[in-house]
Structure 1
C-alpha cells in the first residue's frame, strides 16, 4: 500500500472516529440533562419518574417521535463505545494518548458504554418506547448485582473493594474537574473568553456533582458489603434521593441535580470543541 493510501485510510478512520465521538458525547449530554431534570423534580416534590438512565429513557419515550429519539440516542452511545474502543486500540489524541494506562482506561470506558448502549437499544427495541424495557431501574440492577457478588467466595471483600474503587473514582472525577484537566482536551483557541467561562462553569460544577454522586454510591456499596445486606447498595436514583435525607435536606439534592444538568451541558460543549 502506498503512503497516500495509508494516509487516506488514517484520515477516513479519523473522520469516522470523530463523528462517533461527537455523537456519543451529545448522547451522554442528553442522558445527564434528563437525569438532572428528573432529580430536580424530585427535590421539589414533583418527581414521579426514576432519576436514572431508565427514567430518562421513559421521559424520552413519552415525547412525540419518542421511539425515533430513543434509537438516535442508542446509536449515539454506540458511537461513544466505538470511539473508546478506537482509543484503546490505536491510542487517544494528545502526546500521552498511546500510554498503556490511557489505553486501559479507554478499554474500561468501552465496556461501560457498550453496556449503556445495549440497555438503551434494548429499551428502544423491546418496549417500542414504553416502560418495561432497558433491564429495570438502576436501583434494582445494583441490588441484584450486589446480592450475586456477595454469594461468591470472598464476596464481601469483592463488593467492598468495588465500592472503594467507585469512591476513589468519584474523588478523582471531582478533583480533575476542579483542576480543569479537561482544558487539555479542548480547542481553547477557537473559543471566546465568554464561551470559555461558560464551559468552565459547566465543567467544574458538573464534574463536582458527578464525582459526589459516584462517591456516595461507593459508600453505599461499602456499607452493603460490611453489613452483608445487598439492599443497602443503591443505584443512581436511590443515591440521588438519599441526598434529600441529609441535614441539608432537598436543597442538597437540588444542588446535585443542577450539577448533573450542568454536566449534560458540558458534554454538549465537549461534543463541539473536544480534540478527538
Structure 2
C-alpha cells in the first residue's frame, strides 16, 4: 500500500513538473515571437486565399484554386517568394509546437486544449506541405483532391460511410464552435491589447467577429459536404476549401454570396495578424 501511494505521489509530482515546464516553454520569449510569426504566416495565407476567391467571384482566378495550394503557388511567384515561404514554414512550425504545448502540458479548460490540439494538427499539416513544396518534391496538392482521397480511403474501411459521416459532424462541430466564438466575441478573452487605443480595439474586435464567424461558416459547409459524400457513397461529393468557396456562388445570391464570404476570409486573415500582435499567453 505504501509503495502504491508513493508511486501515485511521484506520478502527480511528475505531472505537475511537466505542466510547469510546459508553461515555461510556452511563455518563453523566443517561442512566443516565433508563434507570433506563425499567426502572421497563417494570416498571409488566408489573405491570399480570400484574394483568389474574390478573383473567382469576378471570373478571373488565373487558373489557381482558392485554397492552400493556390495561395502557396501565388506567394512563390512573387519577389523573394521562396524566401517568404521558408519564413512562413518556420513560423507555422513554431506555432505548431506552441499549440501542442498548450494542448498537452498547460493546464486549462478542456475546450481550449482541444482547440489548441486541432490548431497544432492543422499547422503541422500545412508546414509539411510547404516544406515538401520548397524541397522540390512536387506542387502542393489541392485541398479538393485531398478531401476526395481521404473520403475514398475512409469509405474503404469497415463502416467507412459512418466514419466519413462522423468526420463531417466533427468538422461541423468545429465550425459551429468558431461561429459561436465569433458571434459572442469570446475570442477577445485570448487577446491582450496592452495599451492599444479604443479605436484599434474596436477595429480588431469587428475584424475578429466577421473573420472568425466566416471561417466557422466555411468549415461547417465543408463538414456538410462530407456528410453528403457519406449519404450518397460518393467521394467526389467531398470538397476542400476551393470547392466549398465556389459552392457559395451556386446559391440564390450567386457570385455576391462568394464575394461576401471571400471578404470574410480576407478579414480572418487580417485577424490572424492581430493575433500575432496581441495574443495572450
Match among 35, 49, 71 for residue 56 of structure 1: 71
2-side partners of 1:220 and 1:152: how far apart? Answer: 19
Q: How many residues align?
A: 260
2-side partners of 1:115 and 1:269: how far apart? Answer: 23
State yes or no: 1:38 paired with 2:64. no
2-side partners of 1:133 and 1:114: how far apart? Answer: 18
SS of corresponding position for 1:212: helix
1-side partners of 2:94 and 2:237: how far apart? Answer: 34
Q: List runs of 5+ in structure 1 lacking aligned partners.
A: 1-5, 92-96
Match among 139, 150, 175 for residue 170 of structure 1: 175
State yes or no: 1:273 paired with 2:278. yes
Could you say if the C-alpha distance between residues 171 and 61 of structure 1 is closer, same or farther in structure 2, counting changes exceeding 3 Å? Answer: same
CA RMSD of aligned residues (A): 1.9
The alpha-carbon deviation at position 98 of structure 1 amounts to 2.9
Runs ≥4 in structure 1, deviation > 6 angstroms?
none
Match among 143, 152, 170 for residue 147 of structure 1: 152
Q: Which has the larger radius of gyration?
A: 2
1:169 and 1:214 in contact (8 A); partners too: yes
**Which residue does the alignment assign to 1:23?**
37
**Which residue does the alignment assign to 1:193?**
198
The alpha-carbon deviation at position 189 of structure 1 amounts to 4.5
**Which residue does the alignment assign to 1:250?**
255
1:174 and 1:207 in contact (8 A); partners too: yes
1-side partners of 2:111 and 2:176: how far apart? Answer: 19
1:20 and 1:82 in contact (8 A); partners too: no
Q: List runs of 5+ in structure 2 lacking aligned partners.
A: 1-19
2-side partners of 1:211 and 1:103: how far apart? Answer: 18
2:26 and 2:32 in contact (8 A); partners too: no
SS of corresponding position for 1:126: coil
Could you say if the C-alpha distance between residues 211 and 103 of structure 1 is closer, same or farther in structure 2, counting changes exceeding 3 Å? Answer: closer
The alpha-carbon deviation at position 100 of structure 1 amounts to 4.5
SS of corresponding position for 1:209: helix
The TM-score, its normalising length taken from structure 2, stands at 0.88
The alpha-carbon deviation at position 13 of structure 1 amounts to 5.8
**Which residue does the alignment assign to 1:82?**
97
2:26 and 2:98 in contact (8 A); partners too: no
State yes or no: 1:108 paired with 2:108. no
